[in-house]
Amino acid sequence: MAETRYIKAVNQALKDAMRDDPTVFLIGEDVGAAGGSFKATRDLLDLYGPERVYDAPIAEAAITGIAVGAALTGMKPVAEIMFMDFITLSMDMLVNQAAKARSMFGGQGSVPMVLRTPHGGGLNAGPQHSQCLEAWLAHVPGLKVVVPSNPADAYSLLRAAIDDPDPVIVVENKALYAMKGEMPETPEKIEIGKARIARAGRDATVVAYGAAVGMAEAAAEVMAAEGVEVEVIDLRSVQPWDEACVLESLSRTHNLVVVHEAVEAFGVGAEIAARMADIGFDELDGPIVRVGAPFAPSPFGKTLEEAYRPNADRIVAALRRTLA
């Protein structure tokens, strides 16, 4: 085991994937000479050269479409969209092209592309550089969406995404890029769609992904001090998501809270809550409570952003509500 940072784990995954498969290449704004706006692609241009690492002009729709076309022509592109907010400009290529090619063409082929992009606040980056838009993508049949919550997962989920024959959006979290964590000698092989029990508990289940996992773990600590054992599930992948794992946990704890940094309304949490209210109805001893951002653009200023993002206190309050 060695300690690493989230961003370094992303870099290592890209480096290893490029070493293992000559069809893997990188494309994005400033991913080459500059090593990426957040340094996820540092040194990779030197290592693999300009035929594998493309510094693209500011053209998100084209970057994404180029990834689709290259993927349909035998390559494994890994595109970077600098901030998830800019994915608005990539939407046609993701939604109408990448997502549909396999089904729409009758299974003739697939689109083995990856799109990496960071979401989330905590940097006072303001309303156009902080959004968590993963629910949009999770809503589209044909796309997969993973959201790593720690350095080891950042490595393993990115490797799994690159190995996957279908388009996978890897949503990283800007606030986690500096996070330190253990990186196993032999990285775990993660199957996309399988969740991880981040903390075991018998009294209530908190389902979270990305940065919300850490918040949920902190909330579980608070509750543990009061003798309430909270189970924290790190979804790892929101599309597909591990319904069986959540249901199994709920059938032991009988109380459910779902947390994400994204706006609460119409989010991933709504889907999880709806499914569990259906297939897990008999297991529920309390309401399913969601914790997410309020229905407002993510604000810039420190006090506002702090109040906007979910935190351990709000998760604790949600747990108290469902357990009441």
Active site amino acids: 60, 129
> Using an 8 Å Cβ cutoff, are 67 and 54 in contact?
no
User: Which of 102, 139, 196, 314 is in the footprint of another protein by CB under 8 A?
Assistant: 102
Calpha distance 313→232 (Å, rounded): 15
Q: Rule CB under 8 A: say whether 104 interacts with another protein.
A: yes
229, 254, 280 from 232: Cα distances, Å: 10, 13, 17
- By CB under 8 A, tell whether 189 contacts another protein: no
Q: What are phi and psi of 237, to 5 degrees?
A: -125, 130
Q: Residue 72 or 179: which CB sits closer to another protein?
A: 72
Query: Going by DSSP bridges, is the β-strand pair 237-239/144-146 parallel, antiparallel, or unpaired?
Result: antiparallel
Footprint of another protein on 208-237 (CB under 8 A): none
Task: Answer yes or no whether residue 75 interacts with another protein by CB under 8 A.
Answer: yes
| Cα pseudo-dihedral 303, 306, 309, 310, rounded to 10 | -130
Residues 124-143, mask of contacts with another protein (x by CB under 8 A): -----------------xx-
- Closest separation between CB of residue 168 and another protein, Å? 10
Interstrand relation of 256-263 and 289-293 (parallel, antiparallel or unpaired): parallel
The number of CA neighbours under 13 Å toward the Cβ of 314 is 19
Q: Which of 1, 2, 74, 295 binds another protein (CB under 8 A)?
A: 74
- The 257-296 site mask, x for binding another protein (CB under 8 A), equals ----------------------------------------
233 contacts: CB under 8 Å, gap ≥ 6: 195, 196, 197, 198, 205, 206, 207, 208, 242, 245, 246, 249
Stretch that binds another protein, among 164-172, 204-212, 246-254, 255-263 (CB under 8 A): 164-172
Contacts to another protein by CB under 8 A: 25, 51, 54, 56-57, 59, 61-62, 64-75, 77, 92-93, 96-97, 101-110, 141-142, 144, 164-166, 191-194, 240, 242
